[in-house]
Amino acid sequence: MKTLVIKLLVLGLYLISSVTFGQITPKSTAEKFFKEYQNLGVTKSIDNLYASNKWMEFSADAVSGLKTQLDALTLDFVGKFYGYELIKEQKIGENYIFLTYVGRYDRQPIRFDFEFYKPNTTWQIHSFSFDDKFGEDLK
């Protein structure tokens, strides 16, 4: 009986840890975006980023424009993409988070802003943008 209780306890801890550690977070979503951006390209990375938000189907034109703009960051324009790093994280309560990353390109850095919202139990992308303006981040 004691062995059964211990096995059930261990199984319960395993299940809890796998749910907790397997949870989709804003940071893991942003990091997945960058990996897909490097390996799969602009279209697939943005499609997968916005897949978490069912409301984005109503903004198809805006998402298409975003893809076009990001696709314009070519080797001839900004050079090779070397990676990314988180430079700012701002939480507004428990259900809204703003993440800013710097994308490292040959010619210049590009700022990537991700806003995530958790209306109930699951995080979803609320907004995504990028530019070369770092003034606000240096204050």
> Can you give the pLDDT of all 139 residues of the chain as single tens digits?
554 444 434 334 333 433 444 568 999 999 999 999 999 888 888 888 888 777 666 466 667 777 888 888 877 788 899 999 999 999 999 999 999 999 999 999 999 999 999 998 899 999 899 998 876 655 5
Torsion angle defined by CA atoms of residues 34, 37, 39 and 40, in that order, rounded to the nearest 10 degrees: 140
pTM > 0.85: yes or no: no
Tokens for 132? 């070369």
Helices (H), the chain: 2-21, 26-39, 42-50, 60-71
**Domains of the chain (ranges plus CATH)?**
24-138 (3.10.450.630)
